[in-house]
Amino acid sequence: MTRVIRIGTRGSKLALAQTGIVADTIRATGAEVEIVTVTTPGDLSSAPISQIGVGVFTSALRETLLRNEIDVAVHSYKDLPTAPEEGLVLAAVPPREDPRDALIARDGLTLGELPPGAKVGTGAARRMAQLRALGLGLEIVPIRGNIDTRMRKVADGELDAVVLARAGLARVGRVDEITETLDPIQMLPAPAQGALALECRAADVDIEHLLASAVDDESTRVAVTAERALLAALEAGCSAPVGALAEIVEDLDDEGAVVERISLRGTAAVEGENGGVDMVRASAIAGIGEAEKLGRELAAELLDLGAGALLGPAL
Ligand X SMILES: NCc1[nH]cc(CCC(=O)O)c1CC(=O)O
Residue 220 interacts with ligand X (CB under 6 A): yes or no: no
Residue 208 interacts with ligand X (CB under 6 A): yes or no: no
Smallest gap from Cβ 65 to ligand X, in A, equals 19
Size of the site for ligand X (CB under 6 A): 9
The residue from 24, 43, 71, 79 that is catalytic is 79
**Between helices 205-214 and 13-27, what is the axis angle to 10°?**
90
Residue 191 interacts with ligand X (CB under 6 A): yes or no: no
Of 78, 153, 221, 265, which lies in the binding site for ligand X, with binding defined by CB under 6 A? Answer: 78
Of 40, 58, 76, 225, which lies in the binding site for ligand X, with binding defined by CB under 6 A? Answer: 76
Residue 222 interacts with ligand X (CB under 6 A): yes or no: no
Smallest gap from Cβ 249 to ligand X, in A, equals 22
Which runs of consecutive H residues, i.e. helices, occur in the chain? 13-27, 41-44, 49-52, 59-66, 125-133, 147-155, 166-171, 205-214, 218-233, 291-304, 307-311
Kindly give, in sequence order, each residue whose CB lies less than 8 Å from that of residue 178, ignoring residues fewer than 6 positions away.
102, 103, 104, 166, 169
Which CB sits closer to ligand X, 121 or 168?
A: 168
Instruction: Report the distance separating Cα 209 and Cα 190, nearest Å.
Output: 28
Closest CA to 280 of 295, 291, 272, 270: 270
Instruction: Report the distance separating Cα 306 and Cα 272, nearest Å.
Output: 14
Which CB sits closer to ligand X, 96 or 132?
A: 96
Q: Does the annotation mark 101 as catalytic?
A: no
Phi, psi of 308 (to 5 degrees): -60, -45
Q: Tell which positions 119-178 bind ligand X, by CB under 6 A.
A: 164-165, 167-168
User: Residue of minimal CB distance from ligand X?
Assistant: 168
State the amino acid at position 190 in one-letter form: A
Phi, psi of 300 (to 5 degrees): -60, -40
Residue 8 interacts with ligand X (CB under 6 A): yes or no: no
Of 33, 71, 79, 191, which lies in the binding site for ligand X, with binding defined by CB under 6 A? Answer: 79
Residues in touch with ligand X (CB under 6 A): 76, 78-79, 164-165, 167-168, 193-194
Catalytic annotation, residues = 79
